[in-house]
Structure 1
Amino acid sequence: ADALSAAGVHADVIDLYSIKPYDREAVLRSVRKTGALVVAENHQAKNGVGYELAHLCLTENPVPFVGLGLQDTFAESGAYEKLIEKYGISARHIVDAAKNVIAKKKARGGK
């Protein structure tokens, strides 16, 4: 959240501790407010939280989406900062994804 704010990105940050159950209404309120969705997860990007939330938005409130996570690989052990950088889920990657989704939103005529 701090990195996003420092980059001039005004975002809602929702910490989903599990894929099931999760607070559907909180997610929908956020995407209605922001008009976009970025999901960063520390496991496989495919078939994870991002897929679930993308499906929710697709059926309830379509918005531009960017999902970050491991790309069909097994995770390694090691220093946390090095691993999140390697797997593309560091604060820097999240900020870049947020800027990407904002550009998509603007291209569609959103604010």
Structure 2
Amino acid sequence: IWRQASNELTYTNSFKMKLSVIFGVMHMMFGVCLSLLNHTYFHRPLNIICEFIPQVLFLMCMFGYLVIMIFMKWFIFDAESSSQAPSLLITIINMFLLKPPGLLLYPGQ
């Protein structure tokens, strides 16, 4: 249906940007997991506790949540209600600034 829409370019660019975020988070997580292999190979348990675990927590709590919100937005909101869907960028910015979200993606957010 997006092929027939007048905003096909807007949709395609938005789709590419969200896919780039997903692949970027996967790539960063892969790099962090490689650092775990290095820490275990060189027998550095303190680096695992003080470096690897905080990196994974931060990455998954912030950007893993963003990826989950992207998938939710793709599968929950259809083409008609996509104008009522919350902006993911504004949601993440408000999360960093500790502000309550404007529009909610799901109840209890």
The interval holding the TM-score normalised by the smaller chain is under 0.3
TM-score for the superposition, normalised by structure 2: 0.28
- Determine which structure has more spread, i.e. the larger CA radius of gyration: 2
Higher percent of residues as helix = 2
Considering fraction of residues, name the structure with more strand: 1
Identify the structure with bigger relative contact order (alpha carbons < 8 Å, sequence gap 6+).
Answer: 1
